[in-house]
Copies of this chain bind each other. A is one copy, B any other.
């Protein structure tokens, strides 16, 4: 009985400490959102200091004697089994972060936060000037900080494993190398068959004309509303690079970017970020103010965004309903048919920009980044070799060469954020999304028909129930197994690609 009272007291104090840490982290997320959407230019140096201070205080609490004491007690053999399932998951997840934090020197963490806060504006400028050279010094520093981080965390085979583990717990180079090899083996023949098909859908109409920013935003908001994104618990703003950022299920911020000569890309980004945002909004609110509310892994997170962006947002059924509405909004499209539009947005053509690339070539973009990141972190590539390596790999995998750094190594925000090991989760997301959607079609009566009538809520409700609600109480593998009845299986994604693009391009395996 005495143990039980001590445990109850400990779990309550532990939860309240976890809540405070989460408040600091949520606040930091808001500072980051503000930095990229509303902060005046001159604010960046002070913002860097503020974010560094929050990171330090969060780290201090995470590694405090109080936390140590609680975890020491709550992780004793026999104790976790006595806790309710939420507390069990909390002890497991916070314990995992605690172990990581303990291994991370505070100075390293603060240097990372300060460096990356300043790196943001440098990256924005460098990209505007298309000059990778401008970004090199700060990137060199970021890589060296990541290498120090990997050494501090420890790893078995590659220092890159330590970084992968940040985003997809347990993921290693040993698992990724064969996975990417297999995808390459499956996708290259498909790409070749498509290119040999002689069919090249017209897509000029996507860029011909002027599509006012305000109307695009309004259309995005309408579709997000239909999808079930809750605008009383979230927003959509503009930023240089689209992202989603949540501080609780009740406050989720999406961003998109608009090109007034492109009728599709902002909407597509909005649906993508909406998928992320709806994951955050869909978590059981009881888990708010804890890391259990954050989504179980980046791969699962990305499966939600890719599902809405591609399985839904690039489907024939979706556009059956939405194309007439798009035409109404943008009269420039009056001579285009829904079918022509569907073909246009599914054109397959190797391009420079990852976020604008088609579903077939997308994972080749990830492969390129994966190989470069791994080499940089392992020390076999230097920062000033990136542009050349990028060009060579783009040529090898995609058959094209970027004409400048903005089309190459400066296109993504991730490195300026200090994120290495993040990109591979995009490919995992693609694989998970196909597997989930395959199951959804089996379990939701007439799903495609519903989508074809603009009824998106049945899918949203299914995702809420099957994937979102549980938050981080279950890990990625457990969720995939429970929802789809089997472990991650790349077959669903490959089948999806062959099925869809086989039909469009009239080809078969």
Contact = CB atoms under 8 A, between A and B. Distances in A.
Interface string A38-82: 111111011101100110110000000000000000000000000
Interface string A133-161: 00000000000000000000000000000
B43 A248 contact: yes
A27 B31 contact: yes
Contact of A42 (B53, B57, B251): B251
Given A23-B54, A40-B250, A288 B46 contact: yes
Interface of A: 19-20, 23-24, 26-27, 30-31, 34, 38-43, 45-47, 49-50, 53-54, 56-57, 230-235, 247-248, 250-252, 288-289
- For the complex, would chain A's binding face be called helix, strand, loop or mixed by DSSP majority? helix
A23 B49 contact: yes
Nearest to A21: B53
As for how many copies of this chain the complex holds, the number is: 2
A506 to B, nearest CB: 47
A380 to B, nearest CB: 39
Contacts of A38: 38, 235
B27 A233 contact: no
Contacts of A54: 23-24, 27
Contact of A231 (B26, B34, B40, B231): B40
A26 B50 contact: yes
A40 B221 CA distance: 14
A46 B235 contact: no
Contacts of A49: 19, 23, 289
Contacts of A57: 20, 24, 57
A53 B232 contact: no
Considering residues A20, A46, A47, which has the most beta carbons from chain B within 10 angstroms of its beta carbon?
Answer: A46
A17 to B, nearest CB: 11
A251 B40 contact: yes
Nearest to A288: B46
Contacts of A19: 49, 53
Contacts of A56: 20
Contacts of A20: 53, 56-57
B31 A233 contact: no
7 contacts: A19-B53, A20-B57, A23-B50, A30-B34, A46-B250, A46-B251, A47-B251
